[in-house]
Amino acid sequence: GQNIDQPTEMTATEGAIVQINCTYQTSGFNGLFWYQQHAGEAPTFLSYNVLDGLEEKGRFSSFLSRSKGYSYLLLKELQMKDSASYLCAVSPRGDYKLSFGAGTTVTVRA
Amino acid sequence: GAGVSQSPSNKVTEKGKDVELRCDPISGHTALYWYRQSLGQGLEFLIYFQGNSAPDKSGLPSDRFSAERTGGSVSTLTIQRTQQEDSAVYLCASRRDSPYEQYFGPGTRLTVT
């Protein structure tokens, strides 16, 4: 089976930085995804890493280390609208059938 | 353009009844996935369609669950003889051949009483 772990909850202050860690043990690896999900809404794509290193996209960055089975999502200059659940997902194969972690609920406080 | 749509948005049913959930993927997307999200748990893969290939049903939790995709577009997930543990949000996602990003629909919240 697939095992994907991420913290349940994190709280941070508006304007600060938060790092959400994700570790995985899967039967194969064809990429790691981060999705954002606001309460009651559909998940929306944030990032995709398939090679080691850091991918930066505006205020959001995602890092991958395949040898360590580890990724993180870095959210900078936090805004209230960033309060949401952040989902780490791994595609073990090329069919992109995703295995998800339970999600990390981030609460941004003023 | 239009995103992935799902209907109904909410469904309350009695235990033992059958339900059908519908997904309209983005036009031109060849891959379609069904997931479910139970309270406090991550999304769980159910079934995957790719073009005209036989679907990957490896995530379906029991033989009460089935799905079909007609004409390579609309998909229907059917749950027979519903049980209370089937209560969850059922999400559909679609993807072009490339790139890899899956676009999710808003989901159907199923409550079995």
Nearest to A101 among B42, B91, B95 (CB): B42
- Going A105 to A57 to B89 to A26, the CA torsion angle's sign is negative
- How close is the nearest chain A Cα to the Cα of B73, in Å? 18
pLDDT value of residue B99: 67
Q: Give the pLDDT score at B102.
A: 92
Q: Is residue B47 a contact partner of residue B55, using CB atoms and an 8 Å limit? A: yes
User: Nearest-CA neighbor of B90 among B6, B26, B31?
Assistant: B6
**Residues 2-61 (A) with a CB less than 8 A from some CB of B:** 4, 31, 33, 35, 41-45, 48
Say whether A103 and B4 touch across the interface (CB within 8 A). Answer: no
Sites in chain B below the pLDDT cut of 50: none
pLDDT for the residue numbered B1: 55
In 3D space, the residue among B8, B35, B47 whose CA is nearest the CA of residue A43 turns out to be B35
| Amino acid B106: pLDDT | 93
What amino acid is encoded at B53 in this protein? S
Q: Which parts of chain A register pLDDT below 70?
A: 1
- The pLDDT assigned to A27 comes to 87
By CB atoms closer than 10 A (0-12, 13-18, 19+), residue B30 is middle
